[in-house]
């Protein structure tokens, strides 16, 4: 059967099915047109000779948990690595536990370390992804199910006191006075000067529990967003002094990473399926405006973090763009839209998994003296040692690498 005939069959099926079964087959609606200057196909492919993030580079170490026989592992799916003011390491795992890693030891392998993992608090029924401590010892964190939340650990060393989890925001009031749900709270950072909380609402598609495992399926909404392309990602701000939440920016294709600079003059905000880093200006002549500053990454982008010491920032690159994905978005808009609508009708377990790859980029976010630019890319092109890097944390001349899929923390030495 010719490609034209295949297209005709698909178009006919969609035309017949949508009016009768749209709510069941397309719970998130059909695919949208993609502007010609947007999409995952616009960007380079990874350089297969660049293996700077492999263990053989001598710069990468991996921290695993020491698990006693019969014990349940705690270091599972650490999206983002978090440090408190004393340099203690925390992670948020797939079972909604806040976990600290202590007693880090060397092993016979110079690139492998082990740590004791201790549960600090159970954060509820959701799936927390990212968090930041404020100067009072309160951890603000994003949860894809609940929204924006907080837990204050001032007394956490006293085990007789269980610090409560406070839900701060599950919706935001829009300019017209209506309320909009926060459906996928993702990444977070805290303004060092104002104390305001900047966080992303990645998509209007909600996560659902996987009936087979009982865990939240947080990957499917990103796949929906990547196929549907309705650009529903947002950058939000929470003001602790008033409890108000406002929308700073909209229109991201899975709005993801968030990072504030040292002077709190701007917020970096990533759009995953556009492969772009954007800058929302908080001060100066461009205050209130958002601009795209970088887009030539060798894959999709995720979390972002900035070093207050060097002024450089780091962007997670979880996966490369597959040839099929690139070809799909290179088709004429009407054809691409029909095929993507058909893909949205498939069972969620039929959606393709990410191509094995792990990487992150070091970038110059730009200022009045220099233009934004990608300085260098660190990658494991086949994902053999580090795969699917979704979170980056810059701390003490190192970049700590988190992943929704891994049971370890990657640590890359920049020195």
56-94: per-residue pLDDT in tens? Answer: 999 999 999 999 999 999 999 999 999 999 999 999 999
262-300: per-residue pLDDT in tens? Answer: 999 999 999 999 999 999 999 999 999 999 999 999 999
Rg of the chain over all Cα atoms, to the nearest angstrom: 21
Instruction: List all residues 6 or more positions away from 268 whose beta carbon is below 8 Å from its beta carbon.
Output: 257, 258, 259, 260, 261, 277, 278, 279, 280, 304, 306, 313, 365
Residue 11 reports pLDDT greater than 60 = no
191-225: per-residue pLDDT in tens? Answer: 999 999 999 999 999 999 888 888 899 999 999 99
Are 253 and 350 spatial neighbours (Cβ–Cβ below 8 Å)?
no
Tokens read off for 257: 């990473």
SS3 15: helix
Position 230 scores a pLDDT of 93
DSSP per residue over 204-273, as a string? SSPPEE-TTTSSEE-SHHHHHHHHH----EEEEEEETTTTEEEEEEEEESSEEEEEE-TT-SEEEEEEGG
Q: DSSP class of residue 103? A: E
Q: Using a pLDDT cut of 90, give the percent of the chain over it.
A: 82
Are 276 and 351 spatial neighbours (Cβ–Cβ below 8 Å)?
no
Position 119 scores a pLDDT of 96
Tokens read off for 289: 């405006």
Element spanning 339, H or E: helix 333-344
Question: Residues 229-253: what's their mean pLDDT?
Answer: 97
Position 154 scores a pLDDT of 77
SS3 71: coil
Beta-carbon-side half-sphere exposure of residue 97 (alpha carbons within 13 Å): 16
pTM above 0.85, yes or no: yes
Position 302 scores a pLDDT of 98
| Rounded-to-integer distance, Cα 259 and Cα 286, Å | 18
| Rounded-to-integer distance, Cα 174 and Cα 181, Å | 10
Beta bridge partners of 13: none
Report residue 24's pLDDT band, with 50, 70 and 90 as the boundaries: confident
């Amino acid at each position: 059967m010719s490609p034209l005939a295949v297209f005709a069959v698909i178009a006919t099926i969609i035309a017949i099915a949508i009016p009768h079964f749209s709510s069941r087959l397309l719970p998130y609606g059909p695919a949208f047109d993609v502007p010609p200057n947007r999409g995952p196909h616009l960007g380079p492919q990874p350089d297969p000779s660049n293996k700077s993030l492999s263990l053989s580079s001598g710069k990468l170490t991996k921290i695993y948990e020491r698990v006693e026989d019969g014990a349940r592992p705690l270091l599972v799916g650490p999206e983002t690595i978090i440090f408190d003011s004393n340099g203690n390491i925390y992670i948020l795992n797939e079972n909604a536990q806040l976990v600290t890693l202590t007693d880090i030891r060397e092993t016979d392998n110079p690139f492998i370390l082990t740590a004791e993992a201790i549960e600090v608090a159970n954060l509820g029924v959701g799936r927390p992804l990212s968090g930041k401590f404020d100067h009072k010892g309160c951890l603000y964190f994003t949860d894809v199910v609940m929204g924006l939340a907080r837990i204050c650990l001032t007394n956490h060393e006293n085990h007789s006191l269980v610090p409560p989890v406070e839900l701060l925001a599950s919706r935001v009031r829009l300019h017209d006075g209506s309320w909009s749900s926060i459906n996928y709270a993702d990444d977070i950072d805290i303004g060092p000067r104002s104390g305001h909380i900047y966080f992303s609402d990645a998509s209007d598609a909600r996560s659902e529990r996987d009936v087979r495992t009982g865990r939240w399926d947080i990957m499917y909404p990103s796949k929906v967003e990547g196929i549907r392309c309705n650009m529903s990602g947002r950058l939000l701000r929470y003001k602790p002094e008033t409890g108000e939440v406002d929308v700073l920016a909209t229109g991201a294709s899975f709005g993801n990473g968030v990072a504030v600079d040292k002077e709190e003059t701007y917020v970096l905000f990533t759009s995953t399926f556009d492969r772009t880093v954007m800058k929302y200006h908080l001060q100066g002549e461009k205050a209130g405006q958002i601009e795209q500053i970088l887009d030539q990454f060798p894959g999709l982008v995720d979390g972002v973090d900035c070093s207050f010491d060097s002024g450089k920032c780091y962007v997670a690159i979880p996966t490369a763009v597959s040839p099929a994905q690139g070809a799909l978005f290179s088709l004429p808009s009407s054809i691409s839209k029909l095929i993507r609508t058909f893909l949205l009708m498939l069972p969620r377990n039929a959606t393709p998994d990410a191509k094995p790859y792990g990487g992150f980029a070091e970038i110059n976010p730009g200022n009045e003296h220099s233009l934004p630019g990608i300085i260098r890319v660190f990658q494991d092109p086949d994902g053999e040692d580090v795969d699917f890097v979704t979170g980056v944390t810059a701390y003490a001349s190192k970049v700590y690498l988190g992943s929704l899929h891994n049971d370890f923390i990657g640590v890359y030495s920049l020195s």
